[in-house]
Amino acid sequence: AQSVTQLGSHVSVSEGALVLLRCNYSSSVPPYLFWYVQYPNQGLQLLLKYTSAATLVKGINGFEAEFKKSETSFHLTKPSAHMSDAAEYFCAVSGAGTYKYIFGTGTRLKVLA
Amino acid sequence: DAGVIQSPRHEVTEMGQEVTLRCKLISGHNSLFWYRQTMMRGLELLIYFNNNVPIDDSGMPEDRFSAKMPNASFSTLKIQPSEPRDSAVYFCASSLGTATYEQYFGPGTRLTVT
């Protein structure tokens, strides 16, 4: 069985500040982990993914995430927030031999000027 | 490639009417997922197809919902009869395979049932 927990349904940061969005997972098989972003009135698009290669994964728009098996975490970070980062972010888990993504409930990021 | 295409983008209908949502996959993709997104329940997987065959429809809410893939590039999701609680944004997503592969989402269809 797999599950994802995103801590904080809403996160606000100042422009230029560090962005940290938290994701913890549980998985009975080696996990594959994803972060997606959803802008208003659009579908989800992939930011980055972890599929058992390097534990530090770099994605688009300056985002990165680190897979920490001991902490069962896959937190998303960006050193300096930009106004255009305001969106909803979803963490998802799948696993070897599965087809389903299990999505978290999402974190809405607000960037303050 | 144009990406995943969904139509219509918005649909407003009255309770009891039939609603058909359409999805065109990215060329070469063999997996198709239908999702529903609401504020209350978040993103829910409704049904998954692989190579045109429905593999898992356990997320389909009830018999009023049905989905088909008449060919490798096209899918429909039908609700008959529709109810106000079906109001949501419906997404389809396609991928090259499963598990490790990225899912490409369409722009969604916003359904309002009055």
Res A73: pLDDT: 96
Average pLDDT over residues B9-15: 97
A43: nearest CB among B48, B55, B105? B105
| pLDDT for residue A98 is more than 80 | no
To the nearest whole number, what is the mean pLDDT of chain B? 93
Residue B70 φ then ψ, to 5°: -65, -20
**Phi (first) and psi of residue A98, to 5 degrees:** -115, 170
Question: What is the chain B residue with the closest CA to A90?
Answer: B43
Q: How far is CA B83 from CA A21, A31, A66, B13, B87, in A?
A: 36, 37, 43, 9, 8
Query: Residues A21, B103, A55, A23: what is their CA dihedral angle, to the nearest 10 degrees?
Result: 30
pLDDT in tens, A3-18: 999 999 999 999 999 9
Contact A43 B55 (CB under 8 A): no
End-to-end CA distance of chain B: 36
CB-based contact A43 B48, cutoff 8 Å: no
A→B interface, C-beta within 8 Å? 32, 34, 36, 41-46, 49, 51, 90, 94-101, 103-106
**Mean pLDDT in chain A?**
93
B19-64 per-position pLDDT tens digit: 999 999 999 999 999 999 998 888 999 999 999 999 999 999 889 9
Residue B99 has its nearest CB partner, among A32, A105, A106, at: A32
